[in-house]
C-alpha cells in the first residue's frame, strides 16, 4: 500500500469550505457586468482584481444520477434562467488520496469553470481547455493547483476552461457483457464522453465570454494528457479544438475489451453482484471504497482503470489510427518528465516499489516473446544503480518516454505538426528526481503548491513554460521571440522531424533544443516496441 500523506483536519476543512451550491437568481439583485448569457442559462461569476471566474456551470442537460447512472451524457438544453456561478460543482466519486477527495463528492459532478480577464477585448481570445489527470480514478477541477487566477493574471490574452468528468467505476466500467447490461453500451468510456460534451458546450458558448470557438487548445497531464490524445481519435471531435498539449499522457493509457471485462468481474465478485441491477443497489461510497481498495492509485498503485479500446467509440488500435493520419490536422505539443516513475517509487518506498515492479515485469513477460523478454532483460541490466532504479527507468521508458516519441513519430509521418519536449528539473524530495506531475505547479503558476517536488522551480523558468504553452495555444507554435520571452532571449522550438528528431529540453536554467539521439530519451531497440502492450 502506498504511504498516504497525513491529511490534517485543517486541510479537510479548507477543501469543504470551498463548497457551496449555486442557486438560481430570481430577482434583479446581481452584477450585470459579471453575467454571461449561454444556451443553458445566464451565469453570474465573481471578480477578483482583474480576473473573473465562473464556477460550477453545468454542461449537461441532466446530471448522471438515477436512471442516467452509467449512461452517456445528456446534451444541454436552452434555459432562460439566471444562475450563480460562484462555487465549484461536486467532485466525482473517488477513493481517498487526491485533494479532490476531501471536497464534497457526488454523482452529479458534470460541471466546468471558466476563467477570463475582466478587461474587454475587441478580438476573440484563444481558449485553453484543461482536462485533469489522476489515473482516470482520482482528480477534479476543484484541486487548488487548477485555480487559474495566477495564470490569467499573467496571461490575460487567453481564456481557460477546466472540465470535469466521471472517474473509475462511474466513468470506465464495462457493463454490456452482464445479463442485463445491454442498456449500458457506453459505460466503459463515459469519462471521455463527458469530456467531449464539455468541449461541445465550450464550442457553442465560449464566444459569449469573449473566446474564439475556432481556436481552442485542449491540454492535460497524465490521464488528462492521455484523454487529449484519445479525444482526437473520436469521430467528429475535431470541430471542437485544433490543438493538443499532452503532458505525460498518450494512448498507452488504455485497455482492451477483454481486460475491461476481467476488471468488472473482479469488482462484481468482491461486491457479491451478478447484474447491473445488483450494482445499482450498492451505495456510491461502498462502490468507491471497494474499487479503491482493490485497484486504487493511492492504495495499491493499481494502474488498471483506463478507457477502453472498444472499436466503437475509441479505436481498437489507437497507434494505427495515428499512423493512418486520424489526427494529422491537429497540432500537437507533447512530452514527458525525465524520471516519471520515480514519483511512485518515492511514494511506495524501495521495498513496496520492488514488489510492485517485479510483479508488473512478471505479468508483462507472459505477453512477450522470448526475444522481447531478452531485450527487456538486457535493458534492465544496462541501467546502473539499485534494482528500484532499474525498474523505474524501464517503466518510465514504456509508460511515458517511448509513447511520447512514438506519438511524435506517427503524427509527423502522417503529415501532422508536433512539438516535443523533455522536462528535466529535479525535486528536492528523495528518490523523486524529475518525477511524474511535478511540473504542474509550474504550468499553473502555483509555486506555493509544490509538495510533489519539495521546492518551487525558478520563477523565470516557470513563466517561460507558461508563455510557451500560451503561445502554442495562440499560434500553433510555442517558440518565443525575444520581445515576449520572460528573460528577453528568443526560444526557438523546432518541429519534431523524422531526420533530426529534435526535442525541446525544458532545463531549469537552459531551455534548449536537442536531438533525441544525443539525449537518448528512448531506447529504440529494447523498449520502444513495448508501447504495443499498453500499460497493463
pLDDT of residue 80: 98
The residues with which 183 forms a beta bridge, in sequence order, are none
Q: How confident is the model over 308-317, as a mean pLDDT?
A: 98
Q: What is the pLDDT of residues 48-99, one digit of tens each?
A: 999 999 999 999 999 999 999 999 999 999 999 999 999 999 999 999 999 9
Q: Is 23 helix (H, G, I), strand (E, B) or coil?
A: coil
Q: What is the pLDDT of residues 464-513, one digit of tens each?
A: 999 999 999 999 999 999 999 999 999 999 999 999 999 999 999 999 99
pLDDT of residue 10: 78
The residues with which 219 forms a beta bridge, in sequence order, are 130, 245
CA distance 55 to 43: 9
CB 147 within 8 A of CB 153: no
> CA 164 from chain center: how many Å?
11
> CA 4 from chain center: how many Å?
21
The residue extents of the domains of the chain are 1-221+254-316
pLDDT of residue 9: 75
The one catalytic residue among 101, 176, 222, 237: 222
Which cell numbers hold the place of 99? 485533494
The residues with which 247 forms a beta bridge, in sequence order, are 221, 335
CA distance 487 to 506: 15
pLDDT of residue 7: 57
Q: What is the pLDDT of residues 193-216, one digit of tens each?
A: 999 999 999 999 999 999 999 999
Q: Is 532 helix (H, G, I), strand (E, B) or coil?
A: helix
Half-sphere exposure of 497 (CA within 13 A, CB side): 7
505 membership: H or E segment, kind and range: strand 502-506
Query: Cell numbers 487559474 label which residue?
Result: 148
Q: What is the pLDDT of residues 255-296, one digit of tens each?
A: 999 999 999 999 999 999 999 999 999 999 999 999 999 999
CA distance 391 to 355: 11
CB 211 within 8 A of CB 159: yes
The percentage of the chain sitting over the pLDDT mark of 70, rounded to a whole number, equals: 98
CA distance 386 to 30: 62
User: Is a pLDDT exceeding 50 seen at residue 117?
Assistant: yes
* CATH superfamily of domain region 1-221+254-316: Alpha/Beta hydrolase fold, catalytic domain (3.40.50.1820)
- For the chain, the distance separating the N- and C-terminal CA atoms, rounded to the nearest angstrom, is 19
pLDDT of residue 5: 44
Task: For residue 8, name the pLDDT band (cuts at 50, 70, 90).
Answer: low
Selection from 148, 144, 86, 81 nearest residue 111 by Cα: 86
What is the layout of strands, in order, in the sheet containing 82-84?
35-38, 41-44, 82-84
Total length of the chain:
536
pLDDT of residue 11: 77
pLDDT of residue 17: 81
The percentage of the chain sitting over the pLDDT mark of 90, rounded to a whole number, equals: 96
Q: Output the pTM of the full model.
A: 0.97
CB 445 within 8 A of CB 151: yes
User: Is a pLDDT exceeding 80 seen at residue 3?
Assistant: no
CA distance 255 to 438: 26
User: Is a pLDDT exceeding 50 seen at residue 4?
Assistant: no
CA distance 15 to 165: 19
Query: Is 222 among the residues known to form the active site?
Result: yes
Q: What is the pLDDT of residues 416-461, one digit of tens each?
A: 999 999 999 999 999 999 999 999 999 999 999 999 999 999 999 9
Which cell numbers hold the place of 88? 465549484
CA distance 83 to 224: 29
Q: How confident is the model over 18-26, as a mean pLDDT?
A: 94
DSSP 169-201: HHHS---TTSTTGGG-TTGGGHHHHHHHHHHHH
CA distance 70 to 185: 9
CB 152 within 8 A of CB 86: no
CA distance 88 to 55: 5
Amino acid at each position: 500500500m502506498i504511504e498516504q500523506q497525513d491529511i490534517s483536519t485543517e486541510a479537510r476543512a479548507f477543501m469543504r469550505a470551498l463548497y457551496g451550491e449555486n442557486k438560481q437568481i430570481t430577482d434583479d439583485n446581481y452584477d450585470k457586468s459579471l453575467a454571461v448569457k449561454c444556451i443553458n442559462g445566464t451565469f453570474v461569476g465573481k471578480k477578483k482584481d482583474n480576473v473573473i471566474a465562473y464556477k460550477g456551470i453545468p454542461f449537461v442537460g441532466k446530471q448522471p444520477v438515477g436512471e442516467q447512472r452509467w449512461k452517456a451524457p445528456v446534451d444541454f438544453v436552452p434555459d432562460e434562467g439566471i444562475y450563480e456561478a460562484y462555487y465549484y460543482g461536486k467532485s466525482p466519486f473517488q477513493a481517498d488520496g487526491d485533494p479532490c477527495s476531501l471536497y464534497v463528492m457526488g454523482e452529479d459532478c458534470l460541471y466546468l469553470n471558466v476563467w477570463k480577464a475582466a478587461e474587454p477585448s475587441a478580438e476573440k481570445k484563444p481558449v485553453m481547455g484543461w482536462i485533469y489527470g489522476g489515473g482516470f480514478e482520482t482528480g477534479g477541477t476543484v484541486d487548488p493547483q487548477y485555480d487559474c487566477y495566477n495564470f490569467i493574471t499573467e496571461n490575460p490574452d487567453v481564456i481557460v476552461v477546466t472540465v470535469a468528468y466521471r472517474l473509475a467505476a462511474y466513468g470506465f466500467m464495462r457493463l454490456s457483457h452482464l445479463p442485463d447490461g445491454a442498456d449500458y453500451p457506453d459505460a466503459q468510456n463515459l469519462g471521455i464522453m463527458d469530456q467531449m460534451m464539455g468541449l461541445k458546450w465550450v464550442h457553442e458558448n465560449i464566444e459569449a465570454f469573449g473566446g474564439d470557438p475556432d481556436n481552442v487548445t485542449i491540454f492535460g497531464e497524465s490521464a488528462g494528457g492521455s484523454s487529449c490524445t484519445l479525444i482526437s481519435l473520436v469521430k467528429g471531435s475535431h470541430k471542437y479544438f485544433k490543438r493538443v498539449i499532452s503532458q505525460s499522457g498518450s494512448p498507452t493509457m488504455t485497455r482492451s475489451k477483454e481486460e475491461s471485462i476481467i476488471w468488472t468481474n473482479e469488482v462484481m465478485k468482491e461486491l457479491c453482484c451478478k447484474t447491473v441491477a445488483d450494482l445499482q443497489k450498492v451505495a456510491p461510497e461502498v462502490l468507491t471504497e471497494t474499487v479503491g481498495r482493490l485497484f486504487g492509485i493511492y492504495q495499491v498503485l493499481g494502474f488498471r482503470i483506463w478507457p477502453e479500446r472498444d472499436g466503437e467509440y475509441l479505436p481498437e488500435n489507437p497507434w494505427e489510427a495515428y499512423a493512418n493520419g486520424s489526427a494529422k490536422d491537429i497540432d500537437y505539443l507533447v512530452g514527458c518528465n525525465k524520471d516519471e516513475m520515480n514519483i511512485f517509487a518515492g511514494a511506495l518506498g524501495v521495498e513496496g516499489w520492488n514488489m510492485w515492479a517485479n510483479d508488473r515485469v512478471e505479468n508483462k513477460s507472459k505477453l512477450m516473446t522470448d526475444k522481447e523478454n531478452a531485450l527487456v532483460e538486457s535493458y534492465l541490466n544496462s541501467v546502473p544503480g539499485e534494482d528500484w532504479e532499474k525498474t523505474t527507468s524501464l517503466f518510465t521508458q514504456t509508460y511515458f518516454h517511448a509513447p511520447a516519441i512514438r506519438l511524435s513519430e506517427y503524427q509527423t509521418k502522417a503529415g501532422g505538426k508536433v512539438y516535443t519536449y523533455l522536462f528535466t528539473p529535479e525535486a528536492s524530495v528523495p528518490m523523486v528526481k524529475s518525477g511524474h506531475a511535478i511540473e504542474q505547479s509550474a504550468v499553473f503558476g502555483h509555486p506555493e503548491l509544490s509538495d510533489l517536488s519539495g521546492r518551487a522551480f525558478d520563477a523565470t523558468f516557470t513563466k517561460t513554460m507558461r508563455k510557451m504553452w500560451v503561445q502554442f495555444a495562440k499560434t500553433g507554435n510555442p517558440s518565443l521571440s525575444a520581445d515576449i520571452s520572460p528573460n528577453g532571449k528568443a526560444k526557438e522550438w523546432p518541429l519534431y522531424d523524422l531526420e533530426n528528431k529534435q526535442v525541446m529540453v525544458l532545463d531549469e536554467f537552459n531551455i534548449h533544443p536537442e536531438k533525441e539521439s544525443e539525449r537518448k530519451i528512448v531506447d529504440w531497440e529494447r523498449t520502444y516496441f513495448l508501447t504495443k502492450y499498453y500499460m497493463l
